[in-house]
Structure 1
Amino acid sequence: MAAAMFPATISPSELFGPTSNSDLLDGDSSSCSHIQDAFADEELKQRIIHAYNNAVGWRVQRLHDNAHAKKRQKLSAPECGTCRRTLARPFVCLQCSFAACWQDEHISEHLADEIHYFGVDTNTGAVFCSECDDFIYEPTLDTAYKRTLLAVDEKNAHFLLDRLPRELYQPQPPIDDAVLEASMTRISCQSRCGLLNLGQTCFLNVVLQALIHNPLIRNYFLADKHNYVLCENMECTSCEMDKLFTSVFSPNPAPIGPTGLLAATWRSSSGINGYSQHDAHECLIALLNSIHASTPASSETACSCIVHATFGGVLQSEVRCGRCANPSRTPEECLDISLSLHSSSTADTLANCLKRFTSPETLGAKEYSCPKCGKAPGETVKRMSITKLPPVLSFQFKRFEQTGPASVRKIGTPVRIPSRINMAPYTHLAQAAQDYEPGSFLNHPGPEGMYEYDLFAIVNHEGDLNTGHYTNFARFEDEWYKFDDDKVTPSTLSSALTNPIPIYMAFYVKRELDYGPGSAPVPLPELGGVVDELFDAAFDPDVPMSLDTTAMDTMDTNFWGDPAGFTTNPGTNLGGGNLWDGNVWENEAQRRAQEVEDELMELV
């Protein structure tokens, strides 16, 4: 039979970096005894895995490479080794790389004639066994297929334009369960811990419960990253948080009175001291400011403290002149995102709030003066977007509206939120892609896991600002609980989402966290003289951190006029200059796209 070899492929080492097939850990057992027998021969197993990676890697890369259709047409296409038809659904023999069609059973004929057993559908990665006469499941090959999909996604993603490799996930070595269990202290199944109301302090309790059930904050303190016994700072908010986690996760937790954290909150913000009802969102920001202030700063221009590492994101405000179309872009650091609600009795949704947040807004003639043409057109458009997504997203719904010098009105519009949200449509990348032709590399945003977030805590508020009451729901492992100060009751996700009490804040955690070099601080733009004001006072709890709203008011466009080298993606440097200039970005994008195209052409 005439041999039809598969076209040139992308090697696994190029997709994954240096690796070995030992990284493909077997999970469940295979559904086919024939491939188990084949894998018993280590040399044959390695050949099959190598052939599988080549076949699937080539096909996945070809399917994803829609940026250069004309050049793709020049690439060789596989043909059936029997009937010579061009294959839209190539099947490849895993023992000799013979390509054939499925529809006319030519791949089955080849396997029977050559006494070969396994072929792969390169479109789906499914493996066919000629002895079973059926498709089979093999965990090692299934893992290889998932790795290939992820590798090609990352190869095409915008954040790899600098060609810096991402660190591979390294699984922990196996642990002897018997030795581990012998060193463990057994405790009874514990319920969640409530917090005592110290006099209209429900606003503090719901914020603390959201932080206690935040996976990153919880792991930080339970891993003893800040030990209150060793800390020498007499008034340290991080020490109070460490004490709180120690009490909450003790074998028999009783309701706790967070007196230390209440005092720390009073010290950090004069606006929320005293035994009266206060705003939970204001309390959250004050508490995060205080934790940041009690953590040593990485440097004057970067911070890797637990607050920035968990909540720190970057928004971008773009104002485009209606006369000369000159864009003026300003990055804005944020710890959370505040969303407006429509004043209506009908329910609003989180998706609609985010759409309004990122939708273009027309500015008045007196609100903006173009720095390029020096005029104030009436059709100036402002738009917000997200340039850096944090591991944890905190949303606040603006329910309190100032109606007079001393009067506040609550917006009672109900809000529906999802248990899972994809943030890709609200990023700067999604907005920039609209300005490019279809097929641009900007259409490759990277793996979906980069944008998927899961709900883990909700804060509800009933009543008005002065006489209202806060409660919240939070997730611990796979269970949901309702917290009403010291009263804790088991609940469900459905109950949390359908609770009639209006939602005030919602917290989401990223489903897949990025692996990267350890302890790499988040780069911040150069702020000139404001650095001394914002960072040198890192240990003074009376001075707000850089993300405090009062400090952010001082960070006007004078500080952001020429942020050379500061990029929307940490670790990506497009080569100096004013990156916020649209022409610089477009020229760089075209150059990078050409490099990708040239590399693909060299492979074939």
Structure 2
Amino acid sequence: MATTTLTPTSATPKLIKKAGSNEAETPTSPMQTSFGCHHIQPLMKAARQQAIDFYTKIIEGIRKDGNVGGKTYKSSHSADTTSQSTYICLQCSNVSSNRERHRKDHPFSVESNLGFVYCHDCRDFVYDPTFEEIRTGHETKKRKHLDLSSDDRRLMSSHAVSTPCAATGLRGIYNMGQTCFMSVILQSLIHNPLIRSFYLSEGHKSSDCDRDACTSCALDDIFTKFFEEEKHEGYGAVPMLQGCWKGGGGLAGYSQQDAHEYLGFILNSLHTAIADEDDEEGVMKKDGKDCECVIHQTFGGLYKSTVTCSSCKNFNSTLDPFMDLSLDIRVSPIGKKKKLPMTNSVQTVKEIPPMDLTECLDRFTSTETLGSDSEYKCRKCDSTEGAKKKLSLCRLPPVISIHLKRFSHSRTLKESTKIDTRVRFPFVLDLKPYLSSPPRKAAGNDMKTADDESKEAESPANYSLSKPVYDLSSVVVHKGKIDNGHYISYSKQGSEWFRFDDSMVVQVDEKEVLRAEAYMLFYVAQEFNVPA
């Protein structure tokens, strides 16, 4: 019997046919050679009959009319009943309202609606022949008629690929000559839920693309290799590098590049590859305000710039698209007294204290004064005395990229320096304080009305946020000096954090992530609505 694994990151179930499986084999026989995953095999060998008996009892219970046992779970206060799916432990009587493992040595749960087996180690539903035979054997005759025919199963098998339990996307990328700037951005895209969903659901088909050195085809190949092959060694991103050399201009060659500049290049390159260039409407949407491609729908937002005249208080508001937020970092040192250990004397030392990410956002959205030398002239009163300018976030994307300006370039000294100020960043970021207030009625005929501004801000994002609260997804770190440095990154998978240093992948704790000298931060919205 073929074994099927349903992967949450894929749009459709993928059929896996294990080597050595026998279609005519009796699932409950001791000669079983095919298992739903390699974690089930030890259980079936050590306590096969007990597992079968307990699973049978669970299936009979959830199929029984009026039974609420599988819907009753223990909360912190008492036993509660829910209409949602619960998870019944396969090795004891525990019922949980979520997929969290209640005991380390109990790795399997049974979903209470359809009886599917969930493996906590694989973090996925697994389809074991023994349990599947029991589950389908207890279904009604009407449901049995919905089972696939042998011809349909052969068709699925011939058009499916295997998805091993270990193919979870945790894989490093080889450094092919100072290409760490590319690797860290690619890792952030791999762990971006919307980009991952797009490519794993065949949003871009390489077989249908005739573009030369296409970066979208290269990224599609990366997702295929990372999520369909059970390999742990590094991956050589040669097709992606070739695409960068051909279309990236200054990115060609083996010199060190800036990760933030590469992010801008790869997002624009992916947008160009995904969007239909033959569509005239698509060409008109290149500014990103109304583009419906997955790149702009994932990263594209709008911020509002409001300029208020100091004389007549007339204001003018404009909306501009952004793909990331570039924030300034404090560079002014503060004098701090320190006691010298040898002489017991006190010396004043200038240090740059750490700052919070919210302080950077406060500076970004603070009011800026435009003086008389700013060439500002009010459209209403023709005053040149100055104005006040303020930025605010108007439309937030599902994934927001934050760039911290660590590299300072001086035109007078003609040199570049790196700013080492430590920026403390949170795991959960609330952007509500930085959102625009409801638009006011514009004064004068030379500006947009409040209704026009609202329509422009609301047009047409496929994803709408339920609340402006984000979870940290990835962190890009630049180590070393500006002319001789190295990029590494951290990304979260499930509830665990991993450090990606070229081809090396290491699990780390949250403290190491928070201590990182962040250069770029990627936050994913906790809740957003996907259109039907």
- TM-score, structure 1 length as denominator? 0.53
Counterpart Cα distance in 2 of 1:214 and 1:265: 20
Deviations 1:306-346 (A, max 9, x none): 11010000011111110111111111100000000001421
Counterpart Cα distance in 2 of 1:472 and 1:430: 38
- Aligned partner of 2:371 among 364, 371, 388: 364
Q: Contact 2:427–2:472 at 8 Å: present in 1 too?
A: yes
Give 3-state SS (helix, strand or coil) of 1:463's partner.
Answer: strand
Q: Contact 1:475–1:481 at 8 Å: present in 2 too?
A: yes
In the TM superposition, residue 139 of structure 1 has moved relative to its aligned partner by 3.1
- Aligned partner of 1:373 among 381, 384, 389: 381
Counterpart Cα distance in 2 of 1:31 and 1:389: 37
Amino acid at match of 1:366: D
Q: Which runs of 5+ in 1 are unaligned?
A: 1-25, 33-133, 142-172, 433-441, 519-604
Q: Contact 1:360–1:382 at 8 Å: present in 2 too?
A: yes
In the TM superposition, residue 140 of structure 1 has moved relative to its aligned partner by 5.2
Give 3-state SS (helix, strand or coil) of 1:429's partner.
Answer: coil
Tell me if 1:347 matches 2:354.
Answer: yes
- Aligned partner of 2:322 among 317, 331, 334: 334
Identity score, percent: 35
Residue matched to 2:261: 282
Give 3-state SS (helix, strand or coil) of 1:366's partner.
Answer: helix
| Map 1:389-468 → 2, pairs under 5 A | 389-404=396-411, 406-429=414-437, 449-468=466-485
Counterpart Cα distance in 1 of 2:318 and 2:247: 28
| Map 1:102-117 → 2, pairs under 5 A | none
Counterpart Cα distance in 1 of 2:190 and 2:465: 27
Counterpart Cα distance in 2 of 1:329 and 1:459: 33
Counterpart Cα distance in 2 of 1:139 and 1:266: 55
The 1:475–1:505 alpha-carbon spacing in structure 2 relative to 1, beyond 3 Å, is same
Q: Contact 1:277–1:465 at 8 Å: present in 2 too?
A: no
Residue matched to 1:260: 239
Counterpart Cα distance in 1 of 2:360 and 2:487: 22
Counterpart Cα distance in 1 of 2:380 and 2:415: 42
Give 3-state SS (helix, strand or coil) of 2:377's partner.
Answer: coil
| Map 1:172-251 → 2, pairs under 5 A | 177=116, 181=127, 185=162, 187-190=164-167, 192-251=170-229
| Map 1:288-327 → 2, pairs under 5 A | 288-297=267-276, 299=282, 300-301=284-285, 302-327=290-315
Give 3-state SS (helix, strand or coil) of 1:249's partner.
Answer: helix
Counterpart Cα distance in 1 of 2:195 and 2:474: 13
Q: Contact 1:320–1:327 at 8 Å: present in 2 too?
A: yes
In the TM superposition, residue 430 of structure 1 has moved relative to its aligned partner by 7.6
Counterpart Cα distance in 2 of 1:217 and 1:176: 31
Give 3-state SS (helix, strand or coil) of 1:453's partner.
Answer: strand
Higher relative contact order (CA 8 A, sep 6+): 1
Counterpart Cα distance in 2 of 1:278 and 1:313: 26
- For these two proteins, the number of residue pairs brought into alignment is 347
The 1:222–1:362 alpha-carbon spacing in structure 2 relative to 1, beyond 3 Å, is same
Give 3-state SS (helix, strand or coil) of 2:417's partner.
Answer: strand
Deviations 1:153-172 (A, max 9, x none): xxxxxxxxxxxxxxxxxxxx
Q: Contact 1:450–1:512 at 8 Å: present in 2 too?
A: yes
Q: Which runs of 5+ in 2 are unaligned?
A: 1-67, 85-111, 118-124, 130-156, 334-351, 441-453, 455-463
Counterpart Cα distance in 2 of 1:198 and 1:140: 53
Counterpart Cα distance in 1 of 2:167 and 2:437: 45
Q: CA RMSD in A?
A: 3.2
Amino acid at match of 1:269: G
Counterpart Cα distance in 1 of 2:311 and 2:234: 62
- TM-score, structure 2 length as denominator? 0.60
The 1:459–1:186 alpha-carbon spacing in structure 2 relative to 1, beyond 3 Å, is closer
Counterpart Cα distance in 2 of 1:287 and 1:361: 32
Q: Contact 2:167–2:226 at 8 Å: present in 1 too?
A: no
Tell me if 1:139 matches 2:82.
Answer: yes
In the TM superposition, residue 175 of structure 1 has moved relative to its aligned partner by 5.5
Amino acid at match of 1:189: A
Give 3-state SS (helix, strand or coil) of 1:494's partner.
Answer: helix
Counterpart Cα distance in 2 of 1:31 and 1:244: 41
Q: Contact 1:27–1:139 at 8 Å: present in 2 too?
A: no
Counterpart Cα distance in 1 of 2:165 and 2:274: 34
Counterpart Cα distance in 1 of 2:70 and 2:235: 44
Give 3-state SS (helix, strand or coil) of 1:460's partner.
Answer: strand
The 1:278–1:241 alpha-carbon spacing in structure 2 relative to 1, beyond 3 Å, is same
Counterpart Cα distance in 2 of 1:174 and 1:237: 42
Tell me if 1:382 matches 2:389.
Answer: yes
